[in-house]
Amino acid sequence: MKRFTGFVIKEFYHIFRDYRTLLILFGIPAVQLLLFGYVITNEIKDARIAIYDASKDEVTRKISEKILSSGYFILEKNLNNYSQISQTFREGKTKLVIVFGSKFAEKLQQEGKAELQILGDASDPNTANILVNYATGIINNYLISIDIEQMPMRIIPEVRMQYNPELKGVFMFVPGIMAMLLMLISALMTSLSITREKELGTMELLLVSPLRPIQIIIGKVIPYVVLAFIDSCVILAMGNFVFGVPVQGNIILLLAECLLYITMALSLGILISSITSSQQVAMTISLMALMLPTILLSGFIFPVENMPVILQGLCYIMPPKYFITIIKDIMLKGNGFIYVWKDTVILAMFTVVFMMMSIKKFKIRLA
């Protein structure tokens, strides 16, 4: 029994001295709990909205103040005319637009009802539906709170959903799944490429070849670029013909953005393979470091605005976040390059950084 007890104690010592084991036992569960606890929520706060007030009277001012003081909404801008609504949604920051009809207070007093529109950006149908319900509830609470001595007053909002009138969830999932699959497939495949050479012992053949590190890396990337690009075309075709997800914008621009994202993901995969020594380690890093962040921190399912400031900062260093925005803008909103150029530049910067780091690490390991 003493021998067995000593053996168990020895195992405890081994575990406590191995920081990697402790990280797996305590670090990863804690991080995942924090991520899921803060990210997974149906509550929405600080959603950016725009208001077009054609009446500009006391009642519309009070309703606007009540909406903005609720904690759910932040005023992005006040619109000067109705035609600005489409442009506001295309810019991508505004999630909801409140439109007050002319002579709002006068009609409410004299006729007992007034015109009001709530327009939502339904490219993310879940968020749009929740925000519309929030706004409608706040407006109804305002009517209950005022002292009605005359005829009953009613404000029945006309709700319209932009880009996805039927609130189909597939309009949100196709861009998100596309970003996730291309990231995992591209990064995972390339992360195994150099490590496979090391494990098979064929790295020496590359070392004595006249090829430079940049040529070796590009040579390994090109086949996967072609195959992943075919994958993206298949996903787009299935989304359009099977699920009815429209492609409102320029298809050439859409495919070019897909190619850029694939190149970025492949560059990241090459970087992972350059700093790992085995296929198993490379695969583990690719799956653990890419899958959960792509799902949770890219805005794919859960709005970035809901997250704590620290997690929002992490979201902005996640390439899938920018790709999902680009895909939604082109496919659903029909936006051109002028609306997506900033996200495109950021993806291009990620690509250059990952590629340069790959070349540098590759040189170090070959030295």
Nearest by Cα to 129 from 169, 70, 86: 169
Topology of the domain comprising 47-162: abc type-2 transporter like fold (3.40.1710)
Radius of gyration of the chain (CA): 26
DSSP-based three-state secondary structure for 96: strand
Q: How far is the C-alpha of 265 from the C-alpha of 217, rounded, in Å?
A: 14
CB 71 within 8 A of CB 45: yes
Nearest by Cα to 161 from 91, 244, 89, 228: 89
What is the edge-to-edge ordering of all strands in the sheet holding 96-100? 73-78, 47-53, 96-100, 116-121, 158-162
In degrees and rounded to multiples of 5, residue 119 shows phi and psi of: -110, 125
Nearest by Cα to 40 from 297, 253, 252: 297
Confidence at residue 252, expressed as pLDDT on a 0 to 100 scale? 94
Give average pLDDT by consecutive 10-residue segment, the chain, 367 residues. Answer: 70 68 63 62 80 89 89 89 89 90 83 85 87 88 66 73 85 85 81 72 64 70 83 89 89 94 88 76 73 77 78 86 92 91 94 84 54
E strands present in 31-72? 47-53
Confidence at residue 148, expressed as pLDDT on a 0 to 100 scale? 52
CB 267 within 8 A of CB 354: yes
Q: Which residue type, as a one-letter code, is found at position 324?
A: I
Residue matched to tokens 């962040």: 293
For the chain, domain boundaries: 2-39, 47-162, 170-366
